[in-house]
Amino acid sequence: MYKHGTSRSNDLGHLEIGGVDTVQLREQFGTPLYVYDVALIRERANSFLQAFKKRGIKAQVAYASKAFSCVAMVQLAKELDLSLDVVSGGELHTALVAGFPVEKIHFHGNNKSVFEIEMAVEAGIGCFVVDNFYEIELLREAAKKYQKTVSVLLRITPGVEAHTHDYISTGQEDSKFGFDLISGQAEEAIVRVSDDDAFEMLGLHCHIGSQIFETTGFTMAVEKIFSYLAEWKTKLNYVPKVVNLGGGFGIRYIEGDTPLPVSQYIDATIDAVEEQSAKLGIDIPEIWIEPGRSLVGDAGTTLYTIGSEKEIPEVRHYLSVDGGMTDNLRPALYQAKYEAMIANRSNESSQETYSIAGKCCESGDMLIWDIALPFAKHGDLLAVSCTGAYGYSMSNNYNRIPRPAVVFVENGDPTLVVKRETYKDIVQLDLQLSGKGLSK
């Protein structure tokens, strides 16, 4: 397994993260367990913020909390001076409970409900990233009801296809998200919002996809937006204060993944915005971004205990762990690949090829196919790396399996930030039949 951040092998040959022995973490908190290397999250947040600061660009770096949302994570984002992207009432509620500064919250989503919109308008969030015409109507009504001016960015689909998995690519024209450029929807939305006192039109937003390893997608998106801005400047006298280029910066899950240093993505983006603004003769707009995966992805490791084993001679050697697609849906959903190690014997060299199965009643519940590991057996501790983004946040209770706990580790200290679900939690919303049968 790739050792990064603060992870290392300690004198006992155990994997240590944030100065805490993972074997000790299992004793204290059980498995499966999500472990976050807080120092690495701090480092990533700083790299993004510094990349803009160094260039003297007014910016907001909004943590896309869909990647991993819980009260402690939102509080860490606050401490790190980030803004916050939320995409549902639930993520917004988490942010409010965490005491996140409301003016730095940006609300996304292609089908925000009236309830969610009113909740956000009432709270006074920083801006809505408006996705469609129906939302403009709902927002106008909410603005009137709460007698507030609502700040908005308009989400547009720039027609740029990021080289990534189809399900996580969002900038192409045929997408459920945002206003389309070619058909004129984006222009129509700008007119409607700019002409209305209910709104403060902050600017434009686009997000081309996720797990991107090149700068070209981002620079092409900038060029595309500015080619339309040239037209809108003349025709509508419209110039944006803010251009939000979304998230999507890739991380290394396995060998062969080649993410760029954060500063390289940001520099390329700033260069493109500066060049295009100069061409257009406008002030450089504020540049906002929304990284999720690149802030928390490789800071997360999931610890599992190995249980049963099945060897089919000449075919495959399965090891099953005490979690699976309930705590990491990505392999089943996107064929995502991960690396792992035997954390209680982290210095031993690989001797056998195993496939790591989850415990769900589903043949597709495989976390890793064919990985080389030292000889392993029941009771060993398996650490799967880079599970920090879209792991806990997409976890579920399939087979009524409780969700794991989440622990932050830093400077030798573990802090429990999300408790392990219990069987009591699993049935807490269930109601008993009265005993009189279903019909009264």
Ligand X SMILES: Cc1ncc(COP(=O)(O)O)c(C=O)c1O
360 is catalytic: no
Is residue 250 annotated as involved in ligand binding?
no
Is residue 330 annotated as involved in ligand binding?
yes
Q: Which stretch, 143-151, 284-292, 311-319, 407-415, contacts ligand X (CB under 6 A)? A: 284-292
Asked if 301 and 361 touch (Cβ cutoff 8 Å), the reply is no
Q: Which of 360, 339, 354, 255 is nearest to 1 (CA)?
A: 339
Look at residue 330 and give the partner it binds from ligand LYS, ligand X, none, a contact being a CB closer than 5 to 8 Å depending on partner kind: ligand LYS
Catalytic residue among 127, 206, 360, 361: 361
Q: Which is nearer to ligand LYS, 94 or 277 (CB)?
A: 94
Tokens 């999500």, located at residue: 34
Q: Which is nearer to ligand X, 290 or 365 (CB)?
A: 290
246 sits near ligand X (criterion: CB under 6 A): yes
Distance CA 50, CA 353 (A): 42
Q: Which is nearer to ligand LYS, 21 or 85 (CB)?
A: 85
168 sits near ligand LYS (criterion: CB under 6 A): yes
Is residue 55 annotated as involved in ligand binding?
no
Question: In a 3-state reduction of DSSP, which class is residue 242?
Answer: strand
Buried b (16+ CB within 10 A) or exposed e, 1-16: beeebbbebeeeebbb
Task: Give the residue nearest to ligand LYS (CB).
Answer: 390
Is residue 200 annotated as involved in ligand binding?
no
Tokens 């039109």, located at residue: 201
Provide the minimum distance between the beta carbon of 326 and ligand LYS in the complex, in angstroms, as a whole number: 15
Is residue 437 annotated as involved in ligand binding?
no
CB atoms within 10 A of CB 361: 8
Distance CA 215, CA 290 (A): 15
Provide the minimum distance between the beta carbon of 110 and ligand X in the complex, in angstroms, as a whole number: 10
384 sits near ligand LYS (criterion: CB under 6 A): no
Q: Which of 291, 249, 293 is nearest to 268 (CA)?
A: 249
Amino acid at 36: Y
60 sits near ligand X (criterion: CB under 6 A): no
292 sits near ligand X (criterion: CB under 6 A): yes
Distance CA 440, CA 438 (A): 7
390 sits near ligand LYS (criterion: CB under 6 A): yes
Provide the minimum distance between the beta carbon of 359 and ligand X in the complex, in angstroms, as a whole number: 27
Look at residue 326 and give the partner it binds from ligand LYS, ligand X, none, a contact being a CB closer than 5 to 8 Å depending on partner kind: none
Q: Which of 112, 82, 79, 80 is nearest to 91 (CA)?
A: 112
Q: Which is nearer to ligand X, 292 or 414 (CB)?
A: 292
Distance CA 172, CA 156 (A): 10
205 sits near ligand LYS (criterion: CB under 6 A): no
392 sits near ligand LYS (criterion: CB under 6 A): no
Asked if 67 and 86 touch (Cβ cutoff 8 Å), the reply is no
Question: In a 3-state reduction of DSSP, which class is residue 394?
Answer: helix
Asked if 61 and 82 touch (Cβ cutoff 8 Å), the reply is yes
- Which residues, in sequence order, are CB contacts of 211 under 8 Å at separation 6+? 164, 165, 168, 248, 250, 251, 293
DSSP designation for 392: G
Question: In a 3-state reduction of DSSP, which class is residue 298?
Answer: coil
217 sits near ligand X (criterion: CB under 6 A): no
**Binding-site member from 89, 240, 248, 414 for ligand X (CB under 6 A):** 248
Q: Which stretch, 51-59, 76-84, 191-199, 291-299, contacts ligand X (CB under 6 A)? A: 291-299
Asked if 353 and 370 touch (Cβ cutoff 8 Å), the reply is yes
Q: Which is nearer to ligand X, 26 or 66 (CB)?
A: 66
Distance CA 151, CA 198 (A): 9
Look at residue 294 and give the partner it binds from ligand X, ligand LYS, none, a contact being a CB closer than 5 to 8 Å depending on partner kind: ligand X
25 sits near ligand LYS (criterion: CB under 6 A): no
Distance CA 139, CA 148 (A): 10
Look at residue 203 and give the partner it binds from ligand X, ligand LYS, none, a contact being a CB closer than 5 to 8 Å depending on partner kind: none
Is residue 290 annotated as involved in ligand binding?
yes
Q: Which is nearer to ligand X, 295 or 325 (CB)?
A: 295
Q: Which of 22, 14, 41 is nearest to 298 (CA)?
A: 41
**Token pair for residue 298?**
């490789």
Q: Which stretch, 145-153, 217-225, 240-248, 252-260, contacts ligand X (CB under 6 A)? A: 240-248
The annotation places the binding site at 248, 290-293, 330, 334, 362, 390
The annotation places the binding site for pyridoxal 5'-phosphate at 248, 290-293, 390
Q: Which residues bind ligand LYS (CB under 6 A)?
A: 168, 170, 210, 330, 390
Which are the catalytic amino acids?
Answer: 361
Q: Which residues bind ligand X (CB under 6 A)?
A: 64, 67, 85, 108, 170, 207, 210, 246-249, 290-294, 389
